Every structure is written in structure tokens, then in C-alpha cells.
């Protein structure tokens, strides 16, 4: 690699590190509270260096959404693709999501739950990115629910309704558990097992 290439690679790595830390911070404190200066201080970088990589706070927020999305795909979505399509993969999504909430990868638990609620009454590119991620997640769930129905499961129910209920219950488990409610995860698990039975 020439010097210019090396600089690009270094920049891309720094960008990924900062975006991942931004996702961690935002999972606890929200995307609104993110600032280039705060992230620079946390990571021992210069504020101008972080500003050069991201430009604006909005770009940093968008990078945090993308980074958190990558983490979710890595921990929840991808491993479930080892299971056959339909009910086994749907159960894989749910099991991995519960595990992701019980032992959070990001400091504040599920980033989607936090930022969907944070941005649901706003407009703009960050809200749109959060919404697109929400839609993708529903589409993924609904696809496997329909496959499961083709396998003779969940027959009488509308796929979107099943996805809505699963998402609602696991999101509430995340919030309850974060709030220190010890019963939240087992209660949610029992409801979800009932839904998928």
C-alpha cells in the first residue's frame, strides 16, 4: 500500500471505532446527546480529528445507527441463518435477541428500542435511518413467519400481527430489564413462547 492508501485505511478504522463508541454512548444516553467533542475526549482523540472524519453531528448520529445495526446483524440476525428457514430461524432470531438483551453488547441494551422511541416524533435523516432499520427488522421477521406458516405453524394469524407482537414484547423486556425489573425477561419469554407455540 502507498501512503495515501494507508491513510485511507487508518481513517476508515478510526471512523469505525468512533462510530461504535457513539453507538455505545447513544444506547445509554440517546443519539441527541452525542457530540463530536465528547466522543473525542472519551477516545483520547482531538476534536478536530473527529470533526474531519464525520463533519457534522448528524453524520456521527447516522454512523452510530449504522454501527449499531451492524452489531445487531452480527449478534442476532446472522447466527440465526445457521438454522433452516421458517420456524427454526424465527426462534433463532428471538433466542438471539433475548440473549442480546440479557447480556448487552452495547452498554445501554437494544439500540433500536432506544432510538426508535427517541426519534419517533421527529423528522430528518436520523429518524429516517432509524425507521428504515425498523422496517427491515419487521420484514425479516415477517418473511420467516410466513415460511413458518407454510410449515404449518402460526396458521391462523396475520404475519405482520405476529411480528408486531414479538417485537413489542421483546422491546418491553429490554426496557423492563434496563429499569431493573427482574421479572421482565422471564415474563416476556413466557409470552413469546406462548405466541410461537
Contacts with a second copy, residue ranges (CB under 8 A): 27-30, 32-33, 107-109, 113-114, 116-118, 120-122, 131, 134, 160-161, 164-165, 167-169, 171-172, 174-176, 178-180, 183-184, 187-188, 190-191
> Are the C-beta atoms of residues 40 and 49 closer than 8 Å to each other?
yes
Q: At its nearest, how many Å lie between a second copy and the CB of residue 70?
A: 20
Q: At its nearest, how many Å lie between a second copy and the CB of residue 143?
A: 17
Residue 84: CB partners within 8 Å, gap ≥ 6?
none
Nearer CB in complex with a second copy: 27/53: 27
CA distance readout (Å), 38 to 16, 27, 78, 161, 185:
16, 15, 32, 41, 33
CA nearest neighbour of 134 among 109, 92, 104, 163: 163
In which residue are the cell numbers 425507521 written?
Answer: 131
Q: At its nearest, how many Å lie between a second copy and the CB of residue 24?
A: 11
Q: At its nearest, how many Å lie between a second copy and the CB of residue 61?
A: 14
Cell of 22: 457513539
Nearer CB in complex with a second copy: 42/120: 120
Q: Report the C-alpha gap between 50 and 111 in whole angstroms.
A: 22
Nearer CB in complex with a second copy: 53/177: 177
Nearer CB in complex with a second copy: 41/190: 190
Q: Report the C-alpha gap between 19 and 8 in whole angstroms.
A: 16
Chain centroid to CA 128: how far? 15
Nearer CB in complex with a second copy: 151/175: 175
Q: At its nearest, how many Å lie between a second copy and the CB of residue 33?
A: 6
Amino acid at each position: 500500500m502507498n501512503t495515501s492508501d494507508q491513510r485511507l485505511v487508518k481513517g476508515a478504522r478510526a471512523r469505525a471505532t468512533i462510530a461504535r463508541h457513539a453507538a455505545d454512548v447513544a444506547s445509554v444516553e440517546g443519539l441527541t446527546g452525542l457530540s463530536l467533542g465528547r466522543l473525542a475526549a472519551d477516545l483520547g482523540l482531538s476534536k478536530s480529528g473527529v470533526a474531519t472524519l464525520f463533519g457534522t453531528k448528524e453524520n456521527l448520529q447516522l454512523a452510530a445507527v449504522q454501527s449499531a445495526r451492524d452489531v445487531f446483524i452480527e449478534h442476532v440476525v446472522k447466527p440465526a441463518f445457521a438454522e433452516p428457514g421458517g420456524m427454526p430461524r424465527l426462534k433463532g432470531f428471538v433466542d438471539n435477541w433475548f440473549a442480546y438483551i440479557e447480556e448487552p453488547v452495547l452498554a445501554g441494551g437494544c439500540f433500536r428500542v432506544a432510538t426508535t422511541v427517541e426519534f419517533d416524533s421527529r423528522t430528518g435523516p436520523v429518524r429516517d435511518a432509524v425507521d428504515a432499520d425498523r422496517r427491515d427488522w419487521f420484514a425479516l421477521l415477517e418473511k420467516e413467519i410466513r415460511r413458518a406458516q407454510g410449515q404449518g405453524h402460526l396458521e391462523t394469524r396475520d404475519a405482520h400481527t405476529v411480528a408486531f407482537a414479538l417485537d413489542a414484547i421483546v422491546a418491553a423486556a429490554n426496557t423492563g430489564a434496563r429499569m431493573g425489573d427482574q421479572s421482565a425477561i422471564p415474563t416476556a419469554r413466557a409470552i413469546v413462547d406462548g405466541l410461537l407455540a
